[in-house]
Structure 1
Amino acid sequence: MSKLSATLQKQLLQSTAKTRVTDLAAQHVFDAATVSRDLQHCLTFFNNQGLQTGDYLMLGLPNSYQFYITYLAALITGLTITAVDPQIPNNEAHQLLAKQTYAAVIFADDTHFSTPEPHLRLSINPELATSHYWQRQSINHHQPTNCVPTENSLAIYMYTSGTTGTPKAVGLTHAQLLAAIQNIIAGHQLTAADRTYLCLPLFHINAQVISLLATTVSGGQLVIAPKFSASQFWATVQTAQITWVSLAPTIINILLKKAPQYAINHHLRFIRSASAPLAITTARQFEKTFQVPLIESYGMTEAASQICANPLQHRKLGSVGVPLGLDLKIVAADHSTLPANQMGEIAIRGANVITAYQNSLGNTDFDQGWLITGDLGYQDSEGYVFINGRQKDVINRGGEKLSPTEVENILLALPFVEQVCVTGQPDPILGERVSAYIILTNHSTDAQQLEAYHQAIIEHCQHNLSRFKQPEIIHFVQALPSGPTGKVKRHQLTDFNLQEVAHYG
């Protein structure tokens, strides 16, 4: 049995009175004894259905206690999990089913996903709604086996966002996943006394590893929300006595701009920010407003979610922190190592980092055991890492190179800007021109007010950016293409319905 499976079993199959999980949607609290009973029920069910180590499971349950039990039982059994959006469109689900042979597919009763195979009903807890369980006919295990997962068994199988074309398949082993969990626990000093508020989507690697698994292995308590709610966030943090939360910069910005008018009494040790760069001005204002440390971090699916994080006792705003439990270096175009404070591409290797993609796409990103991430940045003399966007996102305006992230951070400092995406718009003379897509906090459509906002943006950028970095084209839009954590999908801008309100430039 793998160390991950053994660790989960030891932690979960212990009958005590301690609360382990609170499901806010179900309005139910589950103690360790109930978790142990339901987990064993699910393990037995998987075994009776002939599911075994190495089988692939597509899991499309919403954030819930059901997801928690099913996910952990699958890991202990040795199933390879592909977690997907519970509301995934039929065509996308069937595309995934065509790429990989899945032994089972689990979705909630109210899902719109359909499959021709017969289904069995899986009841995890009689007080909760049941879910459907489909066993695909292409897999036919006649009898349960005694096969158990090893360190090299695949635990998670996910696809990257595919920013450069066809998504790459990432397979994380039990050993890689456990290494990441241990790095997170050590870096954030997690203990059994901690309570985390899980409000990011569980089909994303961040919520699965950072919140669910790190909390479970460290013995802490989980408070699971069906999704993020700005109106409910602080009330839940207070009443549930939450000690830490993993969020995304988009959510942090929303919380800041919708701060409650009452005093907040919380027990937060820190809020963790990941998935996209966090503007320094936002971080400073957030810490001042809510009196809670913001721990900016950096990760990717290929590293089981975590690469760097700021130490709790010594944070540097603007930095994603120091490497935790892995090796990191900055490399030039020829992959030679660059000295401190010199900009280049970030390369990583470690026990939690994959060494190849499962579908062979992107395997040129590996060099002698190092994964060349595609992220641009530098490392200062103290080892802190600063990120300046992605190599493929760099805008080339007449030979002048600039990072869209830098421009976005400047624009987010404006109080009327809720969300922004900066990209290079093709230009026959300059090659590219800087173009900004902006969602306003008040979603105004008034022409006079939009003109005032436009002028304020121009003046703000003139005071804070070099001439070649200043946006020449400004779009006020109602929506931007974004992923599960709110990170804008820059490459989908041209195909997305932006619902443009006004256009300048």
Structure 2
Amino acid sequence: MTATELNFIKPFDGDYNLQNYDKVFQNFFWEDVEKEFSWYQTEQVNMAYECIDRHVADGYGDKVALHYINEDEEQVFTFKDIKDKSDHLATVLKKNGVKKGDIVFIFLPKNPENHIAMIAAIKLGAVVGPLFEAFMEDAVKDRISDCEGRFLITDSELVKRVPKQDLPSLEIVFITEGPEKCKEAEISLVEELAKTKPQTDIIEWVDLEHRLNIHYTSGSTGKPKGIVHAHRAMIQQYQTGKWVLDIKENDVYWCTAHLGWVTGTVYGLFAPWLNRATVVVNGGRFNADSWYSTIEKTGVTVWYSAPTAFRMLKAEGDDVLEKYDLSSLRHLLSVGEPLNPEVIVWGIEALQKRIHDTWWMTETGAQLIVNLPSEVIKPGSMGRPFPGIEVAILDDDGNILPNGQVGHLGIKAFWPAIMKEVWKNQEKFNSYFVNGWYISGDLAVLDEDGYVFFQGRSDDMINSSGERIGPFEVESKLIEHEAVAEAGVIGKPDTIRGEIVKAFIVLKRGYSPSEDLLENIRVFVKQNLAAHAAPREIEVLDELPKTKISGKILRRELKARELQNAHQVS
């Protein structure tokens, strides 16, 4: 089976939470979802309560909430454990001045303390600002200084990357270890917890529009912008967890993202815990043996990761895969960048499971375009709109284009999880909307069945001799070649054609670059995609530049590198 041979992949038989997409789509109202929350009756709103405390109150305190693995270390926490620990930590934070509306940054590794700190801060009505553990000094400084953060929870290693001298707003730094690990003016949480009696009625009730969390997202230019979400996001995060993640009573769920990435926060913590799932956390770096072992050891049933990770697992080959029993898996999903058709084929052949692509953004707060487990997958498609979401393809003036035409992907505003604001930047917030549509910055095509096909970012499209070429489809075709592990495609300036297609590739182990091999790869794309889309230049790299958080290929860096080389030659 190859991606080229596939038109669509039918769903496997299963008792899925959403069985009939078309029927549900026609009769769906967000207001009906609100009835699932305790606040619908009590009018007392807090995301942390719905994620943790409610399950304890409902008699599920002994159910496993978090299963943590890091090499030989293993810890298990029940929902009652998480409630008690977050109550205790919230008490300490409150004693040290954290109150409703304050922003609390959390800069911790992928470990249980990170999850507990998130819940504790939210219980106080504070706004959490999760930071990715790979951030260096400038990234940390930009984020904390932008919103004048006063509080930070971190550890003795990561605090070394916090430039306190350049952060005058930062009043208190909490260290998760003992006092011997703290420097002057740092507060040991171990010491504070030991001398503080937990307050069991610690939760601050808020309203649905109260600020919940802030994530910083970067464009191709300018400083990162702070995207703020409100507690109302839980409505959509719960329902997508139920229908897209398909979480059931006994599921063991693993989202591989760090909490510092919006996927880690929303679909590594909020959505699964709103649906009372057992969450798995692997604290180590990517390693095929470690990842497969985690699935086997914890019995993961639902697995949410990124195309980059799946491509890396695919490149490791079947020898590693066959060492492990992955029979617990029943549902796989992908996020972060478009899912190459070849990876879907690998999922079916190697894992005997479909991988379901999902599309959303930091700004949208939750999944908007999805491939549901009960519906047909069209390889290369992002899927169809989630119930309650209206999608259109728009021209440059915001007018709706017919099916089959490339244009700007627009989402009819508004929906429950959409951002509340861009921090201190109303002009930027307003710029996302045209004629009542949220403009994503992605170019896409809508087919006659309502499936959306990603074509590229609006600034990534290649115009060669009048032909518009989406880099993603070329990249997808390149990695179908037996020698290609990864690919990034850009438009290289050309005096005759305007631009030519240039590909940067990483070869699989066992292959060495040669003129014959590169020509073979070029002809493969020409014969299986289109002549105008075949790369006129192919360059082999040891690795492609990627975002640290999500592993997205940074085409803009490839383009900048190419422009710099051209300038040096000239």
TM > 0.5 fold call: yes
1:207 aligned to 258, 264, 270, which one?
264
Q: Which residue of 2 aligns with 1:28?
A: 75
Question: Match for residue 280 of structure 1?
Answer: 341
- 1:95 maps to what in 2? 142
Matches within 5 A, 1:176-191: 176-191=233-248
1:394 deviation in Å? 0.5
1:326, distance to aligned residue in structure 2 (A)? 2.2
The one-character-per-residue Cα deviations of 1:108-149 (angstroms, maximum 9, x if unpaired) are 22123232467565559x9xx9999968xxxxxxxxx99643
Query: CA RMSD of the aligned region, Å?
Result: 2.9
Does the CA-based 8 Å contact 1:106-1:134 persist in structure 2?
no
> Any idea what SS the aligned residue of 1:33 has?
helix
Write the distance in 2 (CA, Å) between the matches of 1:367 and 1:171: 20
| Bigger Cα displacement from structure 2, 427-436 vs 181-190 | 181-190
* Alignment correspondent of 1:354: 419
Paired letter, 1:373:
S
Which has the higher relative contact order, 1 or 2, with Cα contacts under 8 A spaced 6 or more apart? 2
- The CA deviation string for residues 367-426 of structure 1, in whole angstroms up to 9 with x for no partner, is 243211111122233322222212211111122211111110110101221211100112
Change over 3 Å in CA distance of 1:87–1:429 after alignment to 2:
same
- Residues 155 and 177 in structure 1, CA contact (< 8 A), matched pair in contact too: no
Match of 1:297 in 2: 358
**Which residue of structure 2 aligns with residue 155 of structure 1?**
212
Over 3 Å counting, the alpha-carbon distance change for 1:71 and 1:378 in structure 2 is: same
2:292 matches 1:234: yes
* Matched residue, 1:18: 63
State yes or no: 1:51 paired with 2:98: yes
1:2 equivalent in alignment to 2:45:
yes
In the other structure, the counterpart of 1:198 is: 255
SS of 1:435's partner is strand
1:168 shift after superposition: 3.2
Query: Would the alpha carbon gap of residues 354 and 131 (structure 1) be closer, same or farther in structure 2, given more than 3 Å must change?
Result: farther
Q: Could you tell me how far apart the structure 1 residues matched to 2:556 and 2:247 are?
A: 36
Aligned positions of 1:447-458 closer than 5 A: 449-458=513-522
- 8 Å Cα contact 1:395/1:424 also seen in 2: yes
* Higher mean C-alpha deviation, range 1-10 or range 183-192: 1-10
CA distance 1:273–1:472, shift in 2 (3 Å): same
Q: Structure 1, residues 238-282: CA drift from partner, whole Å, max 9, x if none?
A: 221111111111111111222343264421121101111112122
Residue 461 of structure 2 corresponds to residue 394 of structure 1: yes
In structure 2, the residue matched to 1:491 is 556
Question: What is the Cα deviation at residue 318 of structure 1?
Answer: 2.3
2:173 touches 2:186 (CA, 8 Å); kept in 1?
yes
| Structure 2 residue corresponding to 1:246, chosen from 287, 304, 318 | 304
CA distance in 1, matches of 2:559, 2:470: 19
| Structure 1 unaligned regions, length at least 5 | 136-144, 501-505
Moved more, 278-287 or 1-10: 1-10
Cα 1:12–1:452 change in 2 (3 A) is farther
Q: Indicate the residue corresponding to 2:385 in structure 1.
A: 323
- Corresponding residue of 2:276: 219
* Aligned residue among 380, 399, 414 for 1:336: 399
- Between the aligned partners of 2:374 and 2:313, the Cα distance in structure 1 is 24
Contact 1:205 1:305 in 2 (8 A): no
8 Å contact kept, 2:106–2:153: yes
TM-score (norm 1): 0.88
> Post-superposition shift, 1:216?
0.8
Choose the corresponding residue for 2:161, options 110, 113, 119. Answer: 113
The verdict on how the C-alpha distance between 1:49 and 1:12 changes in structure 2, with shifts beyond 3 A counting, is farther
Distance 1:49 1:169, change over 3 A: same
Corresponding residue to 1:463 among 519, 527, 530: 527
Question: C-alpha separation between the residues in 2 aligned to 1:220 and 1:175?
Answer: 20
Question: C-alpha separation between the residues in 2 aligned to 1:482 and 1:19?
Answer: 35
Report the equivalent of 1:140.
none
Pairwise CA distance, 1:310: 1.0
1:256 corresponds to = 314
CA contact (8 A) 1:11 1:216 kept: no
Contact persistence 2:46–2:123 (CA under 8 A): no
Residue of 217, 231, 235 corresponding to 1:174: 231
Q: 1:199 to 1:265 in 2, by over 3 A?
A: closer
Deviates more, 1:16-25 or 1:165-174: 165-174
Number of residue pairs aligned between Structure 1 and Structure 2:
485
Deviations 1:165-189 (A, max 9, x none): 4433311111124423322323332
Residues 491, 559 of structure 2: 8 Å contact kept: no
